[in-house]
């Protein structure tokens, strides 16, 4: 599918892509590009890349696929180095968790390179771990990958990227960048802050006494704060809106408790359970 | 330890206690008491009890340990039937998730039976499942069991109940009923509503697209709504206070996003991660 894939930031997501691209023969060579020597060595050790470099321009020069898999805060600087060096007709993608601002940044950097085929994607996989040591070839098996094509993305590029993600095991869907950002604010970013807020509210003694319920509910709160601040910065407005909506639901619950309206509370719990059980059942059916 | 243990409500918690009391030779006989024939048959089938009955008075009559393991809403009616039938000096315990109101209800029913040694406990174990088919002998291994002795509980009773829970694998701690109810509102009841509110906020399509993060965060939202409404009713005031505090933390986050104060948000995420990672490490150390 590709002769040479360059992965900028071969950590959990980028490293897992590298492994799968290599092992599934989707790319002849995978080059890892990073800022820290140690991290690149780990990516080599775990088999996420064939070779690596700390020079963005050098790394992307011969690639026919370039994947941006660093935190979004680094995109501008990376694109500044990479843009002049891209091969003509290269496919450029990113795997960031937010899209509207990312697309602005990357599109601005490509003004002089209209020949670059940029197509943003977001594989919805991951864990509270990070770094190349957490990478797994099967990370994307059964995951959903959202593709947010731009108005000028040509059908061949869409098709290639779609087929690549499907070969990595993901189910792809397309939507607009704005619809994407609203969606992930509601199903991922606000839930992350909701989990962190539960831990922020208790003290160490209380936390130690908690059972499996709180432990699971707050699993994602053990994720990298830097990564999540990067995500929140990049999707600030939608995350704030989702949090506001979440607070409204919680206040309905608090009101029901204050008024002794346990029937209302019961309806909300029933509806939440129904929705969750159904979503799980749908997912199982889709992946079987 | 006991000649005959009677378990009113041999479901997930009660059934697991029955299994462990039997298999670990802590009780010679375990009798299950319930309202539904089918459920009692399952308790027999899985080995949670030796015998069973639908008559509370009959079931408790010869027991030297009686465990109330039904939803708290049933306690008043059960105690009405049971109180006149208890053996002298019987140890009575409950495993409810809330204590202040439960103790009021049970103490009121024991006014004529000052010889009954009532000692409330709360094993902090469970899952989103319920019923005798979910019961497991090792459910309490590594769990914390909170004992909330009453002012008149004699030392022998405290010691017996403490040793029983330790024999079931739990680590016991004591605190006042009020401190207990505040604690569990913060580490269990409010987190449950927080998880349910995340599911209540999204629609079915959004829920289907969610990844492992939301799935874990909302696991407890698949728990029994009836059970949780019972808990919330019984701990209304403390749950409402905990929800209010939770909303305040979320609003601090929303404010930080609105003001672009990502440093404040980062501090909160770091603190949440530190607390969670530390609580997990402490738990591992304690159970090793």
Instruction: Select from A72, A83, A69 the least CA-distant residue to A6.
Output: A69
Residue A151: exposure state from Cβ atoms within 10 A (0-12, 13-18, ≥19)? exposed
CA atoms of A16 and A6, how far apart (whole Å): 13
Going by C-beta distance under 8 Å and a sequence separation of 6 or more, which residues neighbour residue B160? B1, B91
Which is higher by pLDDT, A228 or B211?
Answer: A228
pLDDT at residue B170 in the model = 96
Reading the block at residue B235, the tokens are 């701990």
Question: C-alpha angle with apex A14: A13 to A17, nearest 5 degrees?
Answer: 85
Interchain pair B217, A195: CB under 8 A: yes
Per residue in B229-271, pLDDT tens? 989 999 999 999 999 999 999 999 999 999 999 999 999 999 9
Q: Whose structure tokens read 């799968």?
A: A20
**β strands within chain B, DSSP E:** 2-8, 27-33, 51-53, 65-68, 91-94, 117-118, 121-123, 144-147, 171-174
CB-CB contact of A105 with A75 (8 Å): yes
CB-CB contact of A74 with A102 (8 Å): no
CB contact A266 to B (< 8 Å): yes
Interchain pair A211, B269: CB under 8 A: no
Per residue in A64-111, pLDDT tens? 999 999 999 999 999 999 999 999 999 999 999 999 999 999 999 999
Q: How far is CA A275 from the centre of its chain?
A: 24
> For residue A39, what pLDDT band results from cuts at 50, 70 and 90?
very high
Residues of chain A contacting residue B250, judged by C-beta atoms under 8 Å apart: 193-194, 197, 243, 246-247, 250
Per residue in B99-156, pLDDT tens? 999 999 999 999 999 999 999 999 998 766 788 999 999 999 989 999 999 988 899 9
Domains of chain B: 2-175 (3.40.50.720), 179-287 (1.10.3660.10)
Q: Whose structure tokens read 């006014």?
A: B111
Which is higher by pLDDT, A144 or B217?
Answer: A144
**A51 membership: H or E segment, kind and range:** strand A51-53
Chain A / chain B CB contacts < 8 angstroms = 275
Going by C-beta distance under 8 Å and a sequence separation of 6 or more, which residues neighbour residue A214? A198, A207, B187, B188, B191
Residues of chain B contacting residue A229, judged by C-beta atoms under 8 Å apart: 262, 265-266, 269
């Amino acid at each position: 599918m590709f002769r040479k894939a360059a992965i900028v930031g071969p950590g959990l997501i980028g490293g897992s892509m590298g492994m799968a691209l290599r092992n599934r023969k989707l790319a002849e060579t995978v080059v890892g590009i990073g800022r820290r020597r140690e991290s690149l060595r780990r990516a080599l050790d775990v088999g996420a890349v064939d070779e690596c470099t700390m020079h963005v321009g050098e790394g992307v020069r011969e690639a026919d696929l370039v994947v941006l898999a660093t935190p979004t805060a680094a995109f501008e600087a990376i694109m500044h180095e990479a843009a002049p060096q891209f091969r003509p007709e290269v496919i450029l993608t990113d795997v960031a968790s937010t899209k509207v601002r990312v697309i602005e940044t990357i599109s601005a950097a490509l003004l002089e390179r209209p020949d670059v085929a940029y197509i943003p994607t977001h594989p919805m996989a991951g864990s509270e771990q990070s770094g190349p040591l957490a990478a797994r070839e099967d990370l994307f098996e059964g995951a959903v990958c959202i593709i947010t094509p731009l108005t000028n993305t040509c059908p061949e590029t869409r098709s290639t990227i779609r087929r690549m993600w499907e070969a990595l095991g993901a189910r792809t869907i397309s939507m607009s960048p704005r619809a994407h950002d609203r969606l992930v604010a509601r199903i991922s970013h606000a839930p992350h802050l909701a989990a962190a807020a539960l831990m922020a509210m208790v003290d160490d003694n209380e936390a130690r006494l908690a059972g499996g319920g709180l432990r699971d509910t707050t699993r994602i709160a053990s994720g990298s704060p830097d990564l999540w601040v990067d995500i929140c910065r990049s999707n600030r407005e939608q995350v704030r809106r989702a949090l506001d909506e979440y607070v409204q639901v919680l206040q309905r619950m608090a009101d029901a408790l204050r008024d002794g309206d346990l029937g209302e509370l019961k309806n909300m719990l029933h509806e939440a359970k129904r929705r969750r059980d159904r979503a799980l059942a749908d997912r199982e059916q889709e992946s079987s």
